[in-house]
Amino acid sequence: MNPAPATPDEHIRLLRQQLILAQVRIMELEDMRDELNPRVADLEKLLADAQRLADRKSGEAAHLESVRTELQTQYDHLRHMQHVTNQALEETRTELQTANNRANLLQDEIAQLQLLIAQQAGLNREQQDELGQLQARLAATVAESAARLARLQELDAEQRAMKTSRSWRWTAWLRSLERAFTSRRP
């Protein structure tokens, strides 16, 4: 410990020295402040730029997520529509095949009846009515076959339109991913 100064002059002298040292320290601190102010301003500018960039990227990420969600929804809808269309197409094909089989059977029956007519020169009224009914059934079956064929062609056109649509082409990569993942499953 230093012994305490004995006189007030010594106190004043020491106080002046401390005051001068304090002023020198203040000037040094002011110089440091002047040197650091541009750096602080640059850092604040960099931080503001970084924040703007982060905000923009966050907005872009949110937009991309909404686009991805919308595409996934469209893809799921298209997959469902494809499934429904394929089912309707298969049902129509089955019905058309059944109708064609019935039409062939009816034509065979008519051919047989016509042979009988040719063999039996005279037909009675009942046989003529039966022939008329068979011909009416044949005409109805042919009309039904034509309607189902038109429906089948309409479903084929719908399927072609769906597969040539822009959304179908845009989601091709999703279908290929799905096929890749499904083929890897045990």
Q: Which of the two residues, 122 and 167, has the higher pLDDT score?
A: 167
| pLDDT at 123 exceeding the cut of 60 | no
Q: What is the pLDDT of residues 126-159, one digit of tens each?
A: 777 888 888 998 999 999 999 999 999 999 998 8
Q: Which of the two residues, 44 and 184, has the higher pLDDT score?
A: 44
Tokens of 99: 């109708």
pLDDT of residue 183: 81
Helices 8-119 & 125-163 angle (0-180, nearest 10): 160
Query: What span, in angstroms and rounded, lies between the C-alpha atoms of 128 and 124?
Result: 7
Buried b (16+ CB within 10 A) or exposed e, 44-73: eeeeeeeeeeeeeeeeeeeeeeeeeeeeee
pLDDT of residue 1: 47
pLDDT of residue 22: 94
pLDDT of residue 18: 94
All structural domains of the chain with their residue ranges: 11-170
pTM of the predicted structure, to 2 decimals? 0.37
Q: Dihedral sign, CA of 43, 45, 51, 57?
A: negative
pLDDT band at residue 122, thresholds of 50, 70 and 90? low
Tokens of 34: 């002047």
Query: What span, in angstroms and rounded, lies between the C-alpha atoms of 90 and 96?
Result: 10
pLDDT of residue 29: 94
Q: What is the pLDDT of residues 30-86, one digit of tens each?
A: 999 999 999 999 999 999 999 999 999 999 999 999 999 999 999 999 889 989 888
Mean pLDDT of the chain: 87
pLDDT of residue 15: 92
pLDDT of residue 4: 56
pLDDT of residue 108: 87
Tokens of 113: 């009846």
